[in-house]
Structure 1
Amino acid sequence: MENIKEPHEVSHFATSVNDVELLFNEPKVSGLQLMEKANLKHIECLDLFQLFEGDFKKIATDETVDLSAKGFERFITKDAEYRNYSVNNDPEVTDKRELTSVEILKLAGIDPEEHFLILVNKDGSKVSYGHQPQVKIKIECGGMHFVTERKDCVLDIEHCFSCGVIPVIAFKYIIKINTTPFTVGKPAMTGREILALINETPETYYLRYKHTGGSKIVEADEVVDFTACGIERFSAKAKNCTEGRVNKRDFLLPQEDVSYLEEKGLAYETLLSDGAQWVILRDYPLPAGYSQRHTDVAIRIPQNYPIAPLDMFYMYPNLARTDGQPIGALSPLAIEDKQYQQWSRHRTANNQWVPGEDNLATHIALMNHSLNEEFTKR
Structure 2
Amino acid sequence: MTDGKDKQPKEYKFQIDKEHYETANPTPTARELLTIAGKLPVERFALYSKGKGQPRRLELDERVDLREPGNEKFLTLPLDQTEGLGAGRRQFALPAEDGEWLDSLGLVYELIAEGGIPRVVIYGWPMPAGYNVAKVDVNVRIDPGYPDTQIDMAYFSPALVRTDGRAIAALSDDSFDGKIWQRWSRHRTPANPWRAGLDNLATHFALVDDWLARELRKG
Q: TM-score, normalised by structure 1?
A: 0.35
Return closer, same or farther for 1:350/1:286 CA change in 2, 3 Å cut-off.
same
Structure 2 counterparts to residues 189-268 of structure 1, below 5 A: 247-268=88-109
**Match of residue 187, structure 2, among 346, 356, 361:** 346
What is the CA distance between 1:246 and its match in structure 2? 5.2
Please give the alpha-carbon distance, in whole angstroms, between the structure 2 residues aligned to 1:246 and 1:240: 6
CA contact (8 A) 2:119 2:141 kept: yes
The answer to whether the aligner puts 1:311 opposite 2:152 as a matched pair is yes
Letter in 2 for 1:269: E
Partner of 1:102: none
CA contact (8 A) 2:137 2:158 kept: yes
- Structure having the higher Rg: 1
Please give the alpha-carbon distance, in whole angstroms, between the structure 2 residues aligned to 1:240 and 1:269: 13
- 1 or 2 for the larger relative contact order (CA 8 Å, sep ≥6)? 2
Partner of 2:216: 375
Partner of 2:201: 360
CA contact (8 A) 1:277 1:303 kept: no
Please give the alpha-carbon distance, in whole angstroms, between the structure 1 residues aligned to 2:104 and 2:84: 17
The answer to whether the aligner puts 1:286 opposite 2:130 as a matched pair is no
Please give the alpha-carbon distance, in whole angstroms, between the structure 1 residues aligned to 2:118 and 2:209: 21
Please give the alpha-carbon distance, in whole angstroms, between the structure 1 residues aligned to 2:163 and 2:218: 15
Letter in 2 for 1:352: P
The answer to whether the aligner puts 1:333 opposite 2:174 as a matched pair is yes
2:191 is paired with a residue whose SS is helix
Q: Percent identity?
A: 43
Letter in 1 for 2:158: P
After superposition, give the CA deviation of every residue in 1:243-269 in whole Å (9 maximum; x if it has no partner): xx9510001111011111112223210
Which 4+ residue blocks in structure 1 deviate beyond 2 angstroms?
none
After superposition, give the CA deviation of every residue in 1:64-83 in whole Å (9 maximum; x if it has no partner): xxxxxxxxxxxxxxxxxxxx
Letter in 2 for 1:351: N
Letter in 2 for 1:334: S
Please give the alpha-carbon distance, in whole angstroms, between the structure 2 residues aligned to 1:334 and 1:275: 14
What is the CA distance between 1:356 and its match in structure 2? 0.2
Cα RMSD of the aligned pairs, angstroms, is 2.2
Q: TM-score, normalised by structure 2?
A: 0.60
1:261 is paired with a residue whose SS is helix
Partner of 2:15: none
After superposition, give the CA deviation of every residue in 1:318-361 in whole Å (9 maximum; x if it has no partner): 11011101001100000101100000110010000010011111
In structure 2, runs of 5+ residues without a counterpart are 1-82
**Match of residue 269, structure 1, among 106, 110, 125:** 110
Structure 2 counterparts to residues 14-53 of structure 1, below 5 A: none
Aligned pair count reads 140
